Structure 1
Amino acid sequence: MKTLAALLLGAVAGAAGAQARYEGLCDASAAVALDARHFIVADDEHNKLTLYRRGEARRVGEVVLDKFLKADKEADLEGAAQVGDRIYWITSHARNSAGKPREDRQRFFATAIRGTTVEPVGTPYTALLADLLAAPVLATLKLSDAAQRAAEAQGGFNIEGLAAAPDGSLLIGLRNPIPQGLAIVIPLLNPAELVDGKGPARFGAALRLDLGGRGVRSLERVGNGYLVAAGPAADDGTFALFRWSGKPGEAPVALKVELGTLRPEALFAWPDGQVTLLSDDGGIKVGKQACKDADKAKRSFRALDVKP
């Protein structure tokens, strides 16, 4: 019998062009399958989660988070990871494009799965960035310097990936910085305590991944390992998909997938083992406007299914 890794490798190579389109938003940034037919998507331009049925373009519901997050502007939702019936969500914790601090972007929170929707639980944690910068185990990364720069600036700070580990801890993937050309993944050891109001955050030693000079755009546990969607720290550059065992010191393996113009920023697995990549299409032109600036009725994002 083929291993999961071999199946994934063959599936990705054979899935090129198997795209779907979903309506209602452009900037898909994180997603989780709620059951065999439904998935929920975060949009980094709005403080809401949008529900879809698999293969159906129109949204079937949404969960508005402004009041829960206590965010006046967009929180920049970027990553999601499921542990049991709870989904953890993380924002970029980044400065804006002008390098100005954005307190609204410093949120770590959870929702509970309730059938084919979710509801917020606990309390949003707002001190994760401060905890990261103060953690002795992460001192050599010099994240304090990175956190002073704009999100997409050279050596800036920007969180985009989140994945569940087998023991219930989480892995935080950084889009930026990428020191020495290696992406950074940081274990978060006590996520449940944080949303229960019991900080500070505790971290494990950082892991360094060779993604061809790219940072982490999405991270998902699949079988006994992980899939990593990788992309540039800024807008210019290429995207790629990698398989990684999750073991320190073991290098990720690039998968042969033709992404074309897709910009995968969300990656999730279905209960049947299939995997879906979602593209952040906010910058794609719809007429003369970028998708994210277009009329709401014209907004959409693309999805690529991986079928083992």
Structure 2
Amino acid sequence: MRCLAALLLIAAGAAGAQTRYEGLCDASAAVALDARHFVVADDEHNKLSIYRRGEAKAVGQVELDAFLKTDKEADLEASALVGNRIYWIASHARNSAGKVREDRQRFFATDIRGTTVEPVGQPYMGLLADLLAAPALAPLKLSDAAGRAAEAAGGFNIEGLAAAPDGILLIGLRNPIPQGRALVIPLLNPAELIAGKGPARFGSAIRLDLGGRGVRSIDRVGTGYLIVAGPPADEGSFALFRWSGKPNDTLVPVKADLGTLRPEALFAWPDGQLTLLSDDGGVMVGKKACKDADKSKRSFRALDIRP
């Protein structure tokens, strides 16, 4: 993969045309499976959809209800590729009414099998409790945040996950944003959790200046990271930043014309091209929001960013 600096010399005119993919609206996480296929999570349904690059209709699906042991949607929000394994994380958030949703407390993995994926190990359901009990994170007072609705001021909501060196993952929070800084928390033992060996262990939180925004997606690109930043609730602007991965390094804004996109997922193809996916669940389709429309009318947008 090309180095981060080369990949992110992006101007507004460097973005490719938008592509529309059918079958779901709320694209929330994605990973390239090979040079032609990618897998997408939908935060409204417990399934993964496989698409062929540039083709509108899904070519495969992986149902997750039985594996995740959920009765309602798990609110899948982010993914990270490590070798042949994809880690997935749910929001771990309360619903809009502030009620506990245990179905959203899931961390799990799939392995790539050709042009599809297969769940492996077991889903881990204790991540939130481990976060709240971690001594290294005590100054953040996450227990207070976790008691509020996901999009409430100072609420708790996970939306980012990225691979880091030595098998570590970085968890990005959409909310809270203490003192206007987004939070990224290192998860030190993800492989152990999938093997059923908890509890989760964490490093010290990293605070990033995303202009008052939270993390909507974070992905490792070359030796650094590209971050999609957005508001903790529905209202507000989105932006892209590149980050070296060093806690004290300044983030660099990336120029890209996002238009009306609400980017929730970012991934890199083997050829180095980057793709942003928009969560279009709230886009009106006739008189209904996309996520409430007939399945035949549901779709989400993708924007290729060419270095």
Q: What TM-score do you get using the length of structure 1 for normalisation?
A: 0.98
Q: Deviations over 1:176-232 (max 9, x none)?
A: 000111000000000000010000000011000100000000000000100000000
Letter in 2 for 1:31: A
CA distance in 2, matches of 1:203, 1:12: 36
- Map of 1:40 onto structure 2: 39
Q: Where in structure 2 are the equivalents of 1:1-308 lying within 5 Å?
A: 4-16=3-15, 18-308=17-307
Q: Match of 2:43, as an amino acid?
A: D
Shift of 1:17: 5.6
* 1:43-91 Cα distance to aligned partner (Å, 9 max, x none): 0000000000011111000000000000000000000001111100000
Q: Relative to structure 2, which stretch is displaced further, 12-21 or 246-255? A: 12-21
Unpaired runs of 5+ residues, structure 1, are none
Q: 1:167 is paired with a residue of what secondary structure? A: helix
Q: Whole-Å Cα distance in 2 between the matches of residues 91 and 12 of structure 1?
A: 32
Q: How many Å apart are 1:261 and its aligned residue?
A: 0.5
SS of residue in 1 equivalent to 2:66: helix
Aligned 8 A contact 1:12 1:307 in 2? no
CA separation in 2, counterparts of 1:304 and 1:37?
A: 15
Deviation at 1:18, TM superposition (A): 1.9
Residues 44 and 161 of structure 1: CA distance in aligned 2, closer, same or farther (over 3 Å): same
Q: What RMSD in Å do the two structures reach over aligned CA positions?
A: 1.0
Higher mean Cα deviation, 14-23 or 183-192?
14-23
Task: Report which stretch shifted further, 14-23 or 80-89.
Answer: 14-23
Identity of paired residues, percent? 80
TM-fit CA distance, 1:8: 3.0
Instruction: Please tell me whether the aligned partners of residues 22 and 57 of structure 1 are also in contact (alpha carbons under 8 angstroms).
Output: yes
Deviation at 1:307, TM superposition (A): 1.1
Residues 12 and 306 of structure 1 are in contact (CA less than 8 Å); yes or no, is this contact kept in structure 2?
Answer: no
Q: Which runs of 5+ in 2 are unaligned?
A: none
- Mapped to 2, the partners of 1:112 and 1:182 lie a distance apart of 34
1:12 and 1:299, CA in 2 relative to 1: closer, same or farther beyond 3 A? farther
Cα drift, residue 12 of structure 1? 4.7
Letter in 1 for 2:301: R
Q: Distance in 2 between matches of 1:9 and 1:63?
A: 33
- How far the C-alpha of 1:167 sits from its partner, in A, is 1.5
CA deviation vs aligned residue, 1:8-59 (integer Å, no higher than 9, x gap) = 3333533346211100000000000000000000000000000000111110
CA distance change for structure 1 residues 287 and 171 in 2, over 3 Å: closer, same or farther?
same
Q: Distance in 2 between matches of 1:259 and 1:138?
A: 34
User: Deviation per CA, 1:250-274, whole angstroms, max 9, x where unpaired?
Assistant: 1211111111110000000111111
How many residues were matched structurally? 306
Task: Give distance in 1, aligned partners of 2:14 and 2:231.
Answer: 23
3-state SS in 2 of match to 1:63: strand
Amino acid at match of 2:91: S
Q: Distance in 2 between matches of 1:215 and 1:306?
A: 22
* Conserved? CA contact 2:7–2:272, under 8 Å: no
- Give distance in 1, aligned partners of 2:108 and 2:299: 26
Counterpart of 1:199, as a letter, is G
**Paired residue secondary structure (2:233):** coil
- Residues of 2 paired with 1:142 and 1:16: CA distance? 40
